Amino acid sequence: MTQTVLKFENVSTAYGKVQALEDVSLEVNEGEIVTLIGANGAGKTTLLMSLCGDPQPQKGKVFYDGEEITGKPTSEIMRNGIAIVPEGRRIFSRMTVEENLNMGGFFTSKEDYDEALKYVFRLFPRLEERFDQRGGTMSGGEQQMVAIARALMSKPNLLLLDEPSLGLAPIVIQQIFEVIEQLRAQGMTIFLVEQNANQALKLADRGYVLENGKIVMHDSGDNLLVNEDVRKAYLGG
Amino acid sequence: MADQFYLFIQQLFNGFTLGSAYALIAIGYTMVYGIIGMINFAHGEVYMISSYIGFIVIAALMMMGVDSAFLLITGAMIVAITLTSVYGFSIERVAYRPVRGQNRLIALISAIGMSIFLQNYVRVGQSSRDIAMPPLVEGGWTFGNPDGFEATLTYMRVVIWVITIAAMIALTLFVTRTKMGRACRACSEDLGMTNLLGINTNFIIALTFAIGAAMAAVAGVLLGTFYGVINPYVGFILGLKAFTAAVLGGIGSIPGAMLGGMLLGIAEAMTAGYLSAEYKDVVSFGLLILVLLFRPYGILGKPEVEKV
């Protein structure tokens, strides 16, 4: 019996009067890659951020590791084994790669930190070369590496990825997806939000389709990939 | 000719001393602005309070029979830095955190209110009269032409410069080498993201206020004992000048605040020396207007980039 790491129970979130999420329920189990696909403005990022407590859901409950986290402050939620690679990367551009990673591993013990550092250098050898370079002077792909590495520095249980392929060259996207594959092999649980439905579904164990703030479909990644409606709407026929 | 040179040197000494104070106070403005984008108008009052704390500690130590200038200054410094940091921390907690996330104007008004409150709180407790104190460190080096102009470098000035430089090095090491200091910089770049890394940003913001206050306390004790006279209103104009220095150097940038403070101090000293002391405020605020017109982001600041 696999354990549920993340669970949304009838969650609704609104920005003022605009309803962004409506009655969303979903589950992510240990060791799985689950992807959430949907068009621009469907509420994908809102869904991720509701999990992080920013904004707080209006209704419904969010559970992490069996414990309810709805209503907790963001910093408290994120300190317990959840890490995020947010939309637009949001690395600290005036800080060096080292300092960025340092912030990601703020609460990591010394031994774990050194171990995590070795691990991210193996994943992204480029970061070792650029260790003292400022984040803002790097290319988009390198910045995405910094963002992923920063998230990994806390040795998370659950990794949230918000559109990691956005704005990157196809070859870099390929690299990023390979890294996600490697993380899965390590046993990490991954919740991947993507607009690049084709690649995300190929990789994922299961997928959810979000439309106008509602989950309209839920199936295994392979089934969604061949589903007529999904093909029409997200994979270009 | 030689007289001219020594006169210039003397003005430079004056400028460095004044500049040290501006720079130390400007750091508080710039760090707070960098992290939450608000001007802490009560910061000048924090400086004033630290001067009073320094005076009280020195007076108390003298009454206990301590007469070594080193012990007096060290004692005053330790107590003033500690207590003033507590003031900085509490001011944020009481006056700014409750209104954070709302319209910026509200925080600004809250800051002005805090400034008026602190001024009057000290006035009620300590009376509004000037308090004077004998100089702690006397003497100095004199050089120049005994028949013409002689430049004097008092020991107290050297003490001020050394401590200011030490404080700035300590601050620089703190923000570049320690985790907490790096978190302060991370917050000033992206508060939300820092929060998403599990870091308690409320604490980091309060810490920033405390550090800014500690820097102001270094200036408060040093300048208070250097000029020898304080009253509850000294913080207001000095705060405005330090704010000008922060804008001049580029608000949000710590090296900018240091540089801006020094430049402003030297500009004022030169004006006082060569033009007239009455014109020094005209020059410093004129400089502010020029910077705002031609380089609104300051000497070392970066233009604000609109995020897309």
pLDDT in tens, B100-119: 988 889 999 999 999 999 99
Given A83, A103, A107, which is nearest B194 (Cβ)? A103
Q: How far, in Å, CA of A83 to CA of A150, rounded?
A: 9
Q: pTM surpassing 0.90?
A: yes
User: Given this model, what pLDDT does residue B150 score?
Assistant: 84
Residue B186 touches chain A, beta carbons under 8 Å: yes
User: Given this model, what pLDDT does residue A237 score?
Assistant: 63
Contact B189 A154 (CB under 8 A): no
User: Scanning every residue of chain A, which has its alpha carbon at the shortest distance from the alpha carbon of B203?
Assistant: A75
Contact B195 A74 (CB under 8 A): yes
Residue B199 touches chain A, beta carbons under 8 Å: yes
Q: What is the pLDDT of residues A73-106, one digit of tens each?
A: 999 999 999 999 999 999 999 999 999 999 999 9
Pairing status of strand A189-194 against strand A158-162: parallel
User: Given this model, what pLDDT does residue B133 score?
Assistant: 82
User: Given this model, what pLDDT does residue A23 score?
Assistant: 94
Q: What letter represents residue B122's amino acid? A: V
- Mean pLDDT score of chain B: 92
The first and second tokens of residue A180, run together, are 């996600």
Q: How far, in Å, CA of B109 to CA of B40, rounded?
A: 10
Q: How far, in Å, CA of B288 to CA of B293, rounded?
A: 9
Omega prior to A55 cis, within 30 of 0: yes
The secondary structure of residue A138, as a DSSP letter, is S
User: Given this model, what pLDDT does residue B306 score?
Assistant: 46
The first and second tokens of residue B186, run together, are 């991370």
Q: What mean pLDDT do residues A212-218 have?
A: 94
Q: What is the pLDDT of residues A28-67, one digit of tens each?
A: 999 999 999 998 889 999 999 999 998 899 999 999 999 9
User: Given this model, what pLDDT does residue A2 score?
Assistant: 74
Q: What is the pLDDT of residues B189-222, one digit of tens each?
A: 999 999 999 999 999 999 999 999 999 999 999 9
Contact A86 B186 (CB under 8 A): no
* Interchain CB contacts (distance < 8 Å): A and B: 57
Residue indicated by tokens 């995405």: A144
B150 backbone dihedrals φ, ψ, rounded to 5°: -115, 130
A interface with B, Cβ–Cβ < 8 A, is 52, 54, 74-76, 78-79, 83-84, 86, 90, 92-95, 99, 102-104, 106-107, 150, 154
Residue B204 touches chain A, beta carbons under 8 Å: no
User: Given this model, what pLDDT does residue B308 score?
Assistant: 39
Q: How far, in Å, CA of B189 to CA of B182, rounded?
A: 11
Q: How far, in Å, CA of B46 to CA of B212, rounded?
A: 9
Residue B196 touches chain A, beta carbons under 8 Å: yes
> Which of chain A's residues have a Cβ under 8 Å away from the Cβ of B189?
92-95
Low pLDDT (below 70) residues in chain B: 1, 303-308
End-to-end CA distance of chain B: 59
User: Given this model, what pLDDT does residue A1 score?
Assistant: 53
User: Given this model, what pLDDT does residue B301 score?
Assistant: 82
CA distance A90 to chain B (A): 7
User: Given this model, what pLDDT does residue B211 score?
Assistant: 97
Of B132, B152, B154, B164, nearest to B51 (Cα)? B132
User: Given this model, what pLDDT does residue B304 score?
Assistant: 59
Inter-residue contact B268 to B283 (CB < 8 Å): yes
Of A102, A105, A98, nearest to A133 (Cα)? A98
Residue B129 touches chain A, beta carbons under 8 Å: no
Q: What is the pLDDT of residues A140-181, one digit of tens each?
A: 999 999 999 999 999 999 999 999 999 899 999 999 999 999
User: Given this model, what pLDDT does residue B145 score?
Assistant: 76
Contact A95 B192 (CB under 8 A): no
> Which of chain B's residues have a Cβ under 8 Å away from the Cβ of A52?
196
B199 backbone dihedrals φ, ψ, rounded to 5°: -85, 135
The first and second tokens of residue B167, run together, are 């404080």
Contact B189 A95 (CB under 8 A): yes
Q: What letter represents residue B298's amino acid? A: G
The first and second tokens of residue A53, run together, are 């407590």
> Three-class SS string for chain B?
CHHHHHHHHHHHHHHHHHHHHHHHHHHHHHHHHHHHCCCCCCHHHHHHHHHHHHHHHHHHHHHCCCCCHHHHHHHHHHHHHHHHHHHHHHHHHHHHHHHCCCCHHHHHHHHHHHHHHHHHHHHHHHCCCCEECCCCCCCEEEEECCCCCEEEEEHHHHHHHHHHHHHHHHHHHHHHHCHHHHHHHHHHHCHHHHHHCCCCHHHHHHHHHHHHHHHHHHHHHHHHHHHCEECCCHHHHHHHHHHHHHHHHCCCCHHHHHHHHHHHHHHHHHHHHHCCHHHHHHHHHHHHHHHHHHCCCCCCCCCCCCCC
The first and second tokens of residue B185, run together, are 């910089």
Q: In the beta sheet, which residues pair with residue B151?
A: B143
pLDDT at A185 over 90: yes
